[in-house]
Structure 1
Amino acid sequence: MSPPASASPPASASAGVSASELLDFVRRAAADSALIDSLPLDPEGRTWVRLDGPGGSEAWLIGWPPGTGTGWHDHAESQGAFATARGTLRENALAARLPASGWKTLELADGVDRERELTAGQGRAFGRHHVHEVFNASQTEHAVSVHAYHPPLPLLRRFSRTGAVLRLEQVERPEDWQ
């Protein structure tokens, strides 16, 4: 991964940023061709630039080389949205609310898996504790997307998954990625 280039974050955060406002923001940003063209793309790893999101939210412009992804994770207490600007991203998600803490391994019920494909111009919003993985399944084309979270990410939990078993593997704090 390349180190992020950072724009200065807003000085104060508003408590009233909704998931729909985040979705509106990421869709508008994804449609801004000058912004999308400004992202340096690396053939080996994801690249990202921090953006000023609405109402003090945390926002990122992310480049996805062919075959790259996030792995299973959530955004803790933050709600979020993302939109694909170029290429196609796939999202695998769990349609189940997981406990916020106090567990290391969970057995998932049948029927909780959801899969969607988001092509350029498409986006989605999600609530707190949304567990998903996002990836560029293309073997030849980069994808680019815009993501926003409110409140700014307090932490990110990473999981591994084997069949119906989800395991908490790591907890990252903002200083790990900023």
Structure 2
Amino acid sequence: MSDAPLLSPARPSAGPAAPPSAADLLDFVRRTAADAELVASLPLDPEGRTWLRLEGPGGSEAWLIAWPPGTGTGWHDHGGSHGAFVTAAGELNEQSLAVRLPTEGWKTLELAEGVDRERRLSAGLGRAFGAHHVHEVINPSSEQHAVSVHAYYPPLPLMRRYSRTGQVLRLEQVEQPQEWE
């Protein structure tokens, strides 16, 4: 036997971690929504939404959001980021479009029949979504706050806000991150 130290073969250095997938983000928001102490720590305002920015996985942006009764986001997208959200307390309704919209070059679109989707998401339920997701989220309760956890990757570069009248969707505003941070 030799007294020479054993050397392990050189391993290639690991490259940068892969960015989180929509499934990774959904796993994160589910685990975070199950943290009762964190959820209970968010102040509830009877007038407007309150939020707390969280450290998301792999450089993602994450938020804990409280929704007073009857409040919602209005129609919007996430500027090309994919993401996930889960209801941690109460219930949220999500209205979404099952169609990919062009991201540039339009102000008004007429939506075809049959593109609307609706989900009722009670505590513990949520969903992941792709980079071209357009939706609105509403707390339908007239009495109870809802709380949810959201994560986006890459961190939101912008949000486009829309108005909707019947089947007509109109681009109203483009928000930059400094407007909601």
Check whether the contact 1:45–1:64 (CA below 8 A) recurs between aligned residues. Answer: yes
1:144-176 superposed Cα distances (whole Å, 9 cap, x missing partner): 000000000000000000001000000000011
Please state how far the C-alpha of 1:14 moved relative to its aligned partner.
Answer: 5.3
Q: Tell me the matched-pair count.
A: 166
Please say if 1:120 is aligned against 2:123: yes
Structure 1 counterpart of 2:118, which letter?
A: E
Q: Is the 8 A contact 1:23 1:125 kept in 2?
A: yes
Structure 2 counterpart of 1:149: 152
Find the residue that maps to 2:20 and give its secondary structure: coil
2:15 counterpart of 1:17? no
- Which residue does 1:167 correspond to in 2? 170
1:87 aligns with 2:90: yes
TM-score by length of 2: 0.90
Change (3 A) 1:154 1:39: same
**Cα RMSD over matched residues?**
1.0
Q: Which residue is equivalent to 1:67?
A: 70
Structure 1 stretches of 4+ moved >2 Å = none
Report the CA distance between 1:46 and its aligned residue.
0.2
Instruction: Supply the distance in 2 between the matched residues of 1:14 and 1:62 (Cα, whole angstroms).
Output: 28
Post-superposition Cα deviations, 1:45-82, rounded to whole Å, max 9, x if no partner, equal 00000000000000000000000000000002100100
C-alpha deviation, 1:100, in angstroms? 1.2
Letter in 2 for 1:111: G
Larger Rg: 2
| CA-CA distance at 1:34 after TM superposition | 0.7
Say whether the 8 Å CA contact 1:71–1:134 is kept in structure 2: yes
Question: Following the alignment from structure 1 to structure 2, what is the Cα–Cα distance between the partners of residues 36 and 58?
Answer: 17
Which residue of structure 1 aligns with residue 55 of structure 2? 52
| Residues 41/171 of structure 1: CA separation in 2 closer, same or farther (3 Å cut) | same
Could you tell me which runs of 5 or more consecutive residues in structure 1 were left unpaired when the two chains were aligned.
Answer: 1-12
TM-score (normalised: structure 1): 0.92
- Tell me if structure 2 keeps the 8 A contact 1:14–1:56: no
